[in-house]
Every structure is written in structure tokens, then in C-alpha cells.
Amino acid sequence: MDCKKARDLILGDYFDGYLNDYDKYKLEGHIDFCPSCQKLADGVRENAVMPFEKIHDQPVPVELWESIKAAIEKKRCRHTFKDRLLGFLNSEKFCYGLNVFVDGLCVIILVLSLFGKVGSRSDNRQVYSQLDGVSYFARSANNSDRHRYGTDIEKYFL
Amino acid sequence: MEEISQETIIAAAEGNIKAFEAIFAAHSSFVYNIALRMTSAPEDAKDITQEVFLLLHRKLGGFKFQSALKTWIYRVTVNQTITYLKSKKHKKHASYDDGMDSLCNNGSFRQDIEAQETVSLLLEKLTPEQRICVVLRNVKGLSYAEIADSVGVNADVVRSRLKRAREKLASLKKEVEAYGL
């Protein structure tokens, strides 16, 4: 067995216990006579295998389940509120209320639009009175300029 | 780890808190200890365990029974732990002593803490991806296939990550000796 193959097995199957007896025998024979592979095997054993064999599972903190349960309950309460809200939105009472509200809104819009029309009518009246004023001034101007502008023919036609 | 029946899983998915507690009792030790080895901090491990079980509670309704619940929990745990390690939440690193000293001060327990510290020191030298493979293989004794299933890669990738991790750990020999461990 060469060092490349031995190195591959030391880092992989050898310490995982996946090596068959024949390969294990060959590898251990190589390790006995190869200082660099021996050093690698010692390093893996001391740092990647043995320390992990000394540790044990730690107990789960007792308060952990309580905090998870509390978080689940909190979430459920939030869901309950959402469900209640959706239930209310689908209820007959809410639909009736919504109808009344929409009807009321329509009436208000109607009334406002009527007032708006009355308002626009008074605006029109103001414009008409302004036009009347303009035509009065135009007439008076024509009267004052009668002697200075136009020929006899124009006067005839005007 | 006791096997959870299909009825219990269905009941838990329907909101039965007792059934969910049974799932927690059966799998919380695995989840907590994986998180503890990966983060080396009991508070972080508690956070991860809580996140894992809240996620399970939320997603249990969609569990299709195509794989074992155990495998699904392994996968969720691995994903949550690696995400946590890569996120800013993980602070480097609270000692085991922080959470354990108050519990007991006898000699064997002290030795246990020292062993935990050694493992923690060694695991910190690895990337999260290598670390999870080492923890699942060396601490929990999972096969390459089971690790591959949990991590979501194929068995050759697991083998390769374990080799790289062991190579790195073997090269740390002198450094660890210098710590007097």
C-alpha cells in the first residue's frame, strides 16, 4: 500500500469503521513502517476521534418547552383575532351595516352635487352681469367716437 | 430516540399541543445537542432549538410522510443551525462554563466541561459545512448516507468534507497541546 492510498483511508474509512479486515490489516502494516502516515493517524485519533468520544449529550433546558409552548399560544391568539375579524366581515350584521353606510354615502354625494349645481348657476349669473358691463362700455365708447372714426358709407351701414 | 406514530404527527399538525409535546420530547435532545456542538453556546443552542420547533409546528401540516419525521427534523436542524451560524446572531463564543458552572462543581462534571471545551475549540477551526458533518458523524454516529440526507448533498461530498475536516484537525495537534488540553 502506498502513502497516498494510506492517507486517503486514514482520513476516511479507517476511523469510521468502514474498512474491511484485509484493507485494515494492510493499512496498519503500512502505518507501522511509515512515520508520516503514523503521524497523520495519531493526529486524527487525538484530535478528530478521541475528543468526541469523551463528550456526552447535554440535557435540554427544562424551560425550553415552556417558551416554545408560549410562542405557539401567542401565535394561536393572533390567529384567533384574525379569524374573528374575518368572521365579523362575513357576518349578516356587517353586511347590513355596510349597506346602510353605502346608501348614506350615496345620499350625501347626491345632496352635495345638487348644492354644487346651485353654486355654479350663481357663478354664471356673475359672468353674465360682467358681460353686460363690458357691452355697456363698448356702446358708450362707440357713441363718443362717432365723429372721429369711419367713413360715410360705414356710418350708413352701421 | 423513540419513533413518533403517524397519528401523533397528524394530531400535532391539527393543533394538538400534547401531541406536539410528544414530538418535542422525542427529538429535542438531538436538536439541542447538535445546535450546542455547532455554536458552543447554550443560549444560542436554545434559540436554535426554539426556532426549529416553531418552524416544525408551522410546517407540520405540509408533512407528506415521504420520509421519516426524524430525517425531516435532522434536515431542518442542520439548515437552521448553519443559517444561524452564518447570520450575525451568532456571537463568538460564550463558554460552556457560562451555562454549566451553576449546575454542578464536582470533579467528573468539571472533566466533562473540559472535554466539551476541547471539542468546542477543535470545531471552531472548521467551516460550518465541515463542522456539521463532523458533529453528525462523530457525535451522533450518523452514517454517510444519513448525513448526506440531512445536509442535502451526496455521500461523496460528505466523505470529502469529513476528510478535509480531519486533515485540518490532525494538523492542529501541536496547537491543541499548547492549550494544555
Domain boundaries, chain A: 3-53
Residues B76 and B55: beta-carbon distance below 8 Å: yes
User: pLDDT tens digits for B62-118?
Assistant: 777 767 788 888 889 998 888 888 876 555 554 544 444 444 444 555 666 777 888
Distance CA A27, CA A5 (A): 9
Contact call for B173 and A43, based on CB within 8 A: yes
- What confidence tens digit (pLDDT) does each residue in B4-61 have? 778 888 888 888 888 888 888 888 899 999 998 888 888 888 999 999 999 988 888 7
Fold designation for A3-53: Arc Repressor Mutant, subunit A (1.10.10)
Longest dimension (CA), chain A: 142
Rounded CA gap, B118 and B139, in Å?
A: 14
Q: What is the CATH number of domain B125-181?
A: 1.10.10.10
C-beta atoms of A11 and B167 within 8 A = yes
Q: How far is B160 from chain A (nearest CA, A)?
A: 8
Let me know how long chain A is. 158
Q: If contacts are CB pairs under 8 Å, which of residues 108-167 in chain B contact chain A?
A: 112, 115-116, 118-119, 122, 134, 137-139, 144, 159, 162-163, 165-167
* Least CB–CB distance from B173: residue in A15, A47, A58: A47
How many beta carbons lie within 10 A of that of residue B26, not counting itself? 17
Question: Which one of A48, A55, A68 has the shortest CB-CB distance to B170?
Answer: A48
DSSP, collapsed to helix, strand or coil, labels residue B25 as helix
Is B172 near chain A, with CB under 8 Å?
A: yes
Instruction: Indicate where chain B has its CATH 1.10.1740.10 domain(s).
Output: 1-94
Residue-wise DSSP of B134-181: HIIIIIT---HHHHHHHHTS-HHHHHHHHHHHHHHHHHTHHHHHHTT-
How far apart CA A44 and CA A85 sit, in angstroms, is 62
From the CA of A95, how many Å to the nearest CA of chain B? 31
DSSP symbol at B4: P
- Using CA atoms, how far residue A18 sits from A10, B93, B112, in Å, is 11, 35, 29
Which part of chain B has CATH 1.10.10.10?
A: 125-181
CA distance B122 to B131: 9
Which residue of B54, B116, B176 is in closest CB contact with A47?
Answer: B176
Taking contacts as CB-CB distances below 8 angstroms, the residues of chain B near A52 are 119, 134, 138-139
CB A11 to CB B162 under 8 A?
yes
Please provide the average confidence, as pLDDT, over all residues in chain A: 79
pLDDT in tens, A67-116: 888 888 887 776 666 667 777 777 777 788 888 999 999 999 989 888 87
The per-residue pLDDT for B32 is 92
Task: Please state which of the four CATH numbers 3.20.20.60, 2.40.50.140, 3.40.50.720, 1.10.1740.10 is assigned to the domain occupying B1-94.
Answer: 1.10.1740.10
To probe the interface with A, which of B58, B59, B166, B177 has the most A CB atoms within 10 Å?
B166
Distance from the B17 Cα atom to the nearest Cα atom in chain A, whole angstroms: 8
In this prediction the ipTM stands at 0.74
Chain A residue whose CA is closest to B174: A43
Residue B181 confidence (pLDDT): 46
Distances (CA, A) of B125 to A73, A136, B106, B129, B133: 40, 102, 30, 12, 14
Q: Is the pTM of this model over 0.80?
A: no
Q: What are the φ and ψ backbone dihedral angles of B67, each rounded to 5 degrees?
A: -125, 170
